[in-house]
Amino acid sequence: MAMSKRREARFEVVVEQGGKPNIDGIFDDEKSATERANFLLRLAKFPVVRVVKVTGTGREETIFQKSSSGGAKLTTISPIEEANLCTGVLQVFSFDSRMTLLRLLRGYWDDQSVIPSEQLHRYYPLRYFEREALLFNPALSRLAAIQAPMLGLKPHERYDQITRLFAGLKELAQASDTLAPFDQALMRGGISGLLQAALDRPAEERDRIVTHAFGTLLEPHREWGAKLAAVLRLHREGDAENARLVDEFSAEIVDGREPIRALIGYAPDLGSAILALLAALRGDLDDRLPHTEPLLALSDVLGSDSPEMGASGGAFPRTREALLNRIRGGLDGLTPLTRTGPASDARAFGAIVDGMIAFDGFMGGPAMAESLTRRGKTVWAAGGSDLPFEETMMRLAGRFDTAAGRLGYLLDLGTSAYGHGKISTVIQHVADEFNRVKSAAELAAPGASLQEVREGLGRRLRAAGIPRGLADGLIAKIASIPDGQRISITGSGIPAGSRIASPIPEVTVDVHAPHAPRLTLSFQGRTVALPDAGGDIVIGRAAECGIVLDHASASRRHAVVRLRDGAFTLEDLSRNGTRLVRQNGEQRLLTLGDVVPLSGRGEIVIGSLDLGEHPARIAWDVSGR
């Protein structure tokens, strides 16, 4: 029995900041814990470092404690405006939830030298975090304030729910030893081995299993460079699921203080810092500068499709998004781009704008289009007044050499909240730009089918709020161009002006065929139809969806109805499922990835009675067959 208790004992290295304890790490033996404590003392970062022995019965004993003259910086929450909604404890392990925690508690993760995927499975760090007065209560209060309106609750009611979720998280952490076989599967067989081992487990447990395995892999590495290198070693080209997971964990690691500092290097001002981040995105990091090997390897992956990728395309989209968020944060602030005056600011801004140019707009899509336009108004100010919106918009559009780029920027700007407030101006310039198009070659390389053109163009015009009549006219203009000259502005990754050597297949589609199949979706008095709306209709909570739901249990992109080769299908994209009710009364519950054909009539039902919701009932009707 004594041997069992000794084996169960753990040694916590605890540091004090602002008079509050934080667990730096947990070790199985006293020697390793003491070595870590002495290392932290040499950093002179913390006023007090101690080693606490915790027995299997929970009894604590301080066996090492020393003081230094450094540290005492307070760690608080960071301001956020959006937060991923979790209704069950297993959803806390999802990527979107982890990134919410990462950004809300950025200072805490940086100080602990960990990422959420590591900490969420560790009972003792969770317990100590709960005692952090400057972090725990403010963090829960901020999440409650953001999420309460989503659920129709008062903030204190959502606060109580989040408290219960945290209690459930600690219970799972105490039982995390049961996930050890999956850790071994990752170590032995890489990501494919891990996913194979997890096949028999319920889908809702996958994120917990995967994050525990990756957290175990990363835990021995105290520095972010070593963590990033460990993740990148798992990357296998040509495996989509492998790339998705490597991308997610790379984003979680890179979106921290020290990696960003390493990417920025010795940048003397904000403009130089943003240009350094852009170099990383485009695979242009200078290997003569003191960048770490993992950053250079990551930059090579990020730039693998550069500079031809679309505004939201490219490899590792989650990592790209994390870096683009940092760029937007710099552009949205009030800090000048340089320290040498307005003329230097304008030159630096021009370099940033040119570096952001992608195939069909600026990298970063609508959000970046808004940030660049807002910054452009102030950078190009004259006589003490900001440059007018329309002139700023036209200057930015003029940075593109192709109509595809100009149209992509204008449509992204119209989709953003800022541009949508001035939509009439944006619409006029979209129409003018289309009127100047004389050949498909002005927009992109030839080769795309008419269906691809109509889908991509219809989707972006609809998202930007372009009136239906004008949108139809613009699509008809593209459809009238001969097949050999047709184009795509959907971000196909082909640079403007390039030519395709292989023959272009002839595509003939009569968009006005009277007997073509047609599907109509009806919800709350609104009707959307395929093929009128393009090739896809997405249903979900996101504002850009074709049918927008106000249901807490609905995902941002919950389900999608598609038209392919004259047939309609419904695919579930959610975590909570979608119920299909056919006209004959037959019902089926779809889960993530399920695809079913749609014919006749019926209803798509989304919502949870357990949350007190009235499920959304979206009627479909297929005709014309």
Answer for the pair 269, 351: CB distance below 8 angstroms, yes or no.
Answer: no
Instruction: Render the burial of 76-93: b for 16+ CB within 10 Å, e for the rest.
Output: ebeebeebbbbbebbbbb
Contact partners, residue 620, CB within 8 Å, separation at least 6: 519, 520, 521, 522, 561, 598, 601, 602, 603, 604
Q: Is 268 helix (H, G, I), strand (E, B) or coil?
A: coil
Helices assigned H by DSSP within 305-444: 317-332, 342-356, 365-379, 389-397, 403-415, 417-420, 423-435
Query: What pLDDT score was predicted for residue 240?
Result: 86
Answer for the pair 89, 101: CB distance below 8 angstroms, yes or no.
Answer: no
User: Would you state the structure tokens that stand for residue 45, as one six-digit string?
Assistant: 């970062």
**pTM recorded for the entire structure:** 0.64
Backbone angles phi, psi at 584, to 5 degrees: -80, 5
Q: What is the full DSSP assignment across 203-261?
A: GGGHHHHHHHHHHHHHTT--SHHHHHHHHHTT--TT-HHHHHHHHHHHHHHHSSHHHHH
Answer for the pair 196, 188: CB distance below 8 angstroms, yes or no.
Answer: no
The ranges assigned to domains in the chain are 2-67, 360-495, 518-623
| Burial zone of 405 (CB within 10 Å; 0-12 exposed, 13-18 middle, 19+ buried) | buried
pLDDT digits (tens, 9 = 90+) for 428-462: 888 888 777 766 555 554 455 556 656 676 777 87
- Percent pLDDT > 70 in the chain is 82
What's the alpha-carbon Rg for the chain, to the nearest Å? 27
CA angle 423, 426, 432 (to 5 degrees): 140
What CA–CA distance (Å, rounded) separates 379 from 398? 16
User: Would you state the structure tokens that stand for residue 419, as one six-digit string?
Assistant: 């541009």
Cα–Cα nearest to 579, from 615, 623, 537: 615
Question: Which residue ranges in the chain fall short of pLDDT 50?
Answer: 1-6, 70-72, 306-312, 445-446, 483-514
Instruction: Render the burial of 320-329: b for 16+ CB within 10 Å, e for the rest.
Output: bbbbbbbbbe
What CA–CA distance (Å, rounded) separates 429 from 79? 36
Strand partners of residue 526: 523
Q: What is the full DSSP assignment across 569-605?
A: EEEE--SS-EEEEETTS-EEEE-TT-EEEE-SEEEEE
- Where do we find the tokens 């040498």? 340
Backbone angles phi, psi at 112, to 5 degrees: -85, -10
What CA–CA distance (Å, rounded) separates 607 from 576? 8
Query: What pLDDT score was predicted for residue 266?
Result: 65
Contact partners, residue 270, CB within 8 Å, separation at least 6: 330, 333, 335, 336, 337, 338
Cα–Cα nearest to 370, from 401, 324, 337: 324
User: Would you state the structure tokens that stand for residue 441, as one six-digit string?
Assistant: 């070659």
pLDDT digits (tens, 9 = 90+) for 265-277: 666 888 888 888 8
What CA–CA distance (Å, rounded) separates 508 from 449? 9
CA angle 131, 134, 138 (to 5 degrees): 100
Considering the domain delimited by 518-623, tell me its CATH architecture.
Sandwich (2.60)
The size of the chain, in residues, is 625
Answer for the pair 607, 614: CB distance below 8 angstroms, yes or no.
Answer: yes
Q: Crossing angle for the helix pair 240-254 and 224-232, nearest 10 degrees?
A: 170
Cα–Cα nearest to 519, from 456, 459, 588, 568: 568
